[in-house]
Structure 1
């Protein structure tokens, strides 16, 4: 009964994420690691914020943060459609959005519009796929990013749109040779929290995150 009488803010923050290397993914022991994960863990520790990390499929991780109190999700692209749904902290990293085909395929494209004649793959609730679909391209949705790559390798899609670092990381792990067609956006990645997470907590966390320019890889003179 004592736990029930404690303020909601005393409970650990539930931080949901997905398998999306190199930003967030499980190691061989099942611990969540990655570049964005490390930035976030360091800031949480410095801000003295208790948090519990959970690895879920992206659609479930996103929905948990959207609907459940004291839940957050990362690494999340901060779009106009999502802006009012969450409280935001970050950025934690930067994700370059790119299109890939299998190496050796006779596929030539240098813009999203030129993908119209190809079968294009992404995965559920992914901002990259949503962006491409919004340009009028039919996008076939896999359950997750690893399955997206597997479909490309199996010839079920001609092109995948994904984070450049993620596509290259997963392809290298599976010995899949990719051809980088083009990069079309550079998206900062954030922690997105349910509105029940207090503004004060978000402010404390933001204070301990790296400066924007440092996260984006921009020098002080740029």
Structure 2
């Protein structure tokens, strides 16, 4: 995603500074500060009017992740997960989605804190994309086989976008939109955006 964003900014000849914040704080800043971009943000009906949507920078197949050793966790259908405590990041789409469906969620500031709760067995599951399991394993000095991706959730299979604050300079928006149109036509962009392994089994709720 950052590679795509940097290519778009270069094409638009715009200087920027990328900072990483907990998701809820990043979202708050992007909604209130003109000339601010945010990524990778899901384009939900509730959010659609809150930003200028510039283009897709990621594709997520979010689903349940557990510790492999937890052979007591049995999830054969989506509703089975209601029996378990699930760590989610405050304000993200998985938190909103599972709360609406009355799952037992524990909100955290970021994905690392969610995994910390999982590893310490304070929660039973986290919501993540399988492509990030290896990096989380490395971060916590675990073997990748110690974490298991159970199954994706169809409703949480979404594109992540680069979006801009609604009060951003209109000329900047035009430059970014034009730059994105150029970048997204390249084969490089298509290879970055999608990954062939995404044809994985999913719960269809």
1:125 to 91, 95, 101: 91
Residue 182 of structure 2 is aligned to residue 208 of structure 1: yes
Question: Structure 1 runs of 4+ off > 6 angstroms?
Answer: none
Is the deviation greater in 142-151 or in 109-118?
109-118
TM-score normalised per structure 2: 0.81
Equivalent residues, number:
183
Range with bigger deviation, 110-119 or 81-90: 110-119
Of the candidates 57, 65, 76, which is equivalent to residue 92 of structure 1? 57
Aligned-residue Cα RMSD (Å) equals 2.0
Aligned to 1:107: 73
Structure 1 residues 217, 153: closer, same or farther in 2, change over 3 A?
A: closer
**1:217: how far off?**
4.9
Q: Distance in 2 between matches of 1:209 and 1:112?
A: 38
SS at match of 1:84: helix
Cα distance between partner residues in 1 of 2:37 and 2:195? 25
Query: Alpha carbons of 1:73 and 1:178: their partners in 2 closer, same or farther (altered >3 Å)?
Result: same
Structure 1 pair 110/131, CA: closer, same or farther in 2 (3 Å)?
farther
Distance (Å, rounded) in 2 between the aligned partners of 1:125 and 1:91? 20
- Where in structure 2 are there 5+ consecutive unaligned residues? 197-205
The partner residue of 1:157 within 123, 126, 134 is 123
Residue in 1 that maps onto 2:46: 81
Q: Is 2:12–2:176's contact at 8 Å kept on the other side of the alignment?
A: no
Q: Is the 8 A contact 1:89 1:205 kept in 2?
A: no
Cross-structure match for 2:112:
146
C-alpha distance in structure 2 between counterparts of 1:183 and 1:62, whole Å = 25
Deviates more, 1:143-152 or 1:192-201: 192-201
Name the CA distance, whole Å, in 2 between partners of 1:192 and 1:112: 31
TM-score by length of 1: 0.75
Residue aligning to 2:163: 192
